[in-house]
Structure 1
Amino acid sequence: MNDVGLGVENIAVLGPLHISISLVTSICLTIIVSAVGWLLTRNLSRSPSTLQAMVEAIVSVLEEAVAQVAGHHTQRIMPFIASLWIFLVFANLLGLVPGLDSPTRDLSVTTALAITVFLSVHWFGIRTQGLRRYLAHYLTPNPILLPFHLISEVTRTVALALRLFGNLMSLEMAALLVLMVAGFLVPIPLMMLHIVEALVQAYIFGMLALIYVAGGIQSQEERQTV
């Protein structure tokens, strides 16, 4: 972990576009995770090796978690939610690597993730029910509630971004303060705390995203059956 602060270092500026270390780290992490995923799944066998069995077990756990919320829409949204979970786990744990910081300690990164979830809710809802039926749910049970529906969409997106950013930032600040006071006498408990908190925050963000996406799909079905 490097020094923790609210400022994010930019490595390049292209007009109004600021290229930060967090952005570059996120892109590199995405490429690496995608490449590893491709390598692990390109030669699947009916008689799985130990590595394939481990990968299949992880996928099964993720699929079961999605199925408990999304029901028969699991296969539709599983790739998005699983990818989000996997990215967040590695992104949150990246702060344990000497010289690197977790990209999720950058508000711009968590905001981008929250906006991705926001857009995905509407994308899956429209694909499942069609544009007209999807938009109609904002007028139920009464059109007067439309402003409140819109406000809730914005506030939950903001809360999603701030929650992950705040928790990761506070975790790294707490780690830095402990190291400053106690030196390196307590590195192992500190690392364990970081690992647990990183996994918990990845789970919470992914589960909230899953609930929002599944809710956007299933609310339309409930309206159809009324």
Structure 2
Amino acid sequence: MQSDRIVAMRLSPDQIIFWQLGFVKLNATIVFSWLVILVLVLGSWLVTRKLSTDLHRSRWQNVLEVVVLNISKQIKDVGLSQPEKYLSFLGSLFLFIAISALGTMFPGFEPPTGSLSSTVALALCVFVAVPVFGISQQGIGAYLYSYTQPTFIMLPFNIISEVSRTLALAVRLFGNMMSGAMIIGILLSITPFLFPIVLTLLGLLTGIVQAYIFFILATVYIAAATRSRTPAPAA
């Protein structure tokens, strides 16, 4: 019986189909991705609709300020001197992955980060954002010049590096989230009444750590792209 449960485990929320018309499918990855986005949008609206500059502030505003200040501090510590320029993008990445992990506390919720399609989409967001921020900071000429450093021979290798690290971002997040869910599911199927709370907390911790790692790596890539590189003066 327990082995049947393990075999029946789903490797990805893509396998849960809620609606299908021909080749068009509405699976759990899409549904829960939009649910997480809806939670973020509604949460942002509820927290920011009555912001105050007085000494007396709501509990939710205090929580929001703590989150924003800590994310800004992390961005600045990585090397971006103006964290407010990158806060909305990087903060959204972190919160999306973190909320996806926290959602596992609710029965029936399937974290969208357990699907490779979602993690690839998040990695592609970083892939596009890196040159966008780099060009806005340095200009298109200086940014493209950085690909030929320290010598023009490095041009193809730097391009390959951009693609490979994007793939690594997607696969790392997907692998860690899926493996964590698989281990917890297998252990719960073996000992369903012994470890459910501990394993749920372990899954939450893993999700938050993965959100932080993804956020830091994205910040590092953007910091590297926005760092100005000027040609060395001729001797």
TM-score by length of structure 1 reads 0.91
Amino acid at match of 1:105: G
Q: Gapped runs of 5+ residues in structure 1? A: none
Amino acid at match of 1:5: L
Q: Residue 45 and residue 97 in structure 1: after superposition, are their counterparts in 2 closer, same or farther (change >3 A)?
A: same
What is residue 39 of structure 1 aligned with on the other side?
46
User: Bigger shift: 115-124 or 91-100?
Assistant: 91-100
Q: Residue 39 and residue 224 in structure 1: after superposition, are their counterparts in 2 closer, same or farther (change >3 A)?
A: farther
The yes-or-no answer on 1:211 pairing with 2:220 is yes
Q: Could you say which structure has the larger radius of gyration?
A: 2
What is residue 66 of structure 1 aligned with on the other side?
75
Q: Residue 139 and residue 18 in structure 1: after superposition, are their counterparts in 2 closer, same or farther (change >3 A)?
A: farther
User: Bigger shift: 48-57 or 153-162?
Assistant: 48-57
Q: Residue 130 and residue 19 in structure 1: after superposition, are their counterparts in 2 closer, same or farther (change >3 A)?
A: farther
1:58-86 Cα offsets, whole Å, 9 max, x none, are 11111111111133231211111111111
What is residue 26 of structure 1 aligned with on the other side?
33
Within the candidate set 219, 224, 230, 1:223 is matched to: 230
User: Bigger shift: 106-115 or 131-140?
Assistant: 131-140
1:10/1:19 contact within 8 Å kept: yes
What is residue 9 of structure 2 aligned with on the other side?
3
Identity between Structure 1 and Structure 2 (%): 36
Residue 95 of structure 1 deviates from its aligned partner by: 2.4
Q: Residue 108 and residue 146 in structure 1: after superposition, are their counterparts in 2 closer, same or farther (change >3 A)?
A: same
> What SS does structure 2 have at the residue aligned with 1:185?
coil
Residues of 2 paired with 1:156 and 1:39: CA distance? Answer: 36
Residues of 2 paired with 1:14 and 1:109: CA distance? Answer: 22
Residue 203 of structure 1 deviates from its aligned partner by: 0.5
What is residue 153 of structure 1 aligned with on the other side?
162
Mapping of 1:177-188 within 5 angstroms? 177-188=186-197
Residue 175 of structure 1 deviates from its aligned partner by: 0.7
Residue 183 of structure 1 deviates from its aligned partner by: 1.7
The yes-or-no answer on 1:81 pairing with 2:87 is no
1:4/1:176 contact within 8 Å kept: no
Aligned length, in residue pairs: 223
Mapping of 1:48-197 within 5 angstroms? 48-197=57-206
Q: Gapped runs of 5+ residues in structure 2? A: 1-7
TM-score by length of structure 2 reads 0.88
2:29/2:115 contact within 8 Å kept: yes
1:91/1:104 contact within 8 Å kept: yes
1:26/1:103 contact within 8 Å kept: yes
> What SS does structure 2 have at the residue aligned with 1:151?
helix
Residue 97 of structure 1 deviates from its aligned partner by: 1.6
Structure 1 residue ranges (4+ consecutive) displaced by more than 6 angstroms after TM superposition: none
Q: Residue 198 and residue 133 in structure 1: after superposition, are their counterparts in 2 closer, same or farther (change >3 A)?
A: same
1:6-41 Cα offsets, whole Å, 9 max, x none, are 462344557765443202211221122112112211
> Which has the larger helix fraction?
1
Over the residues paired in the alignment, what is the CA RMSD in angstroms?
2.0
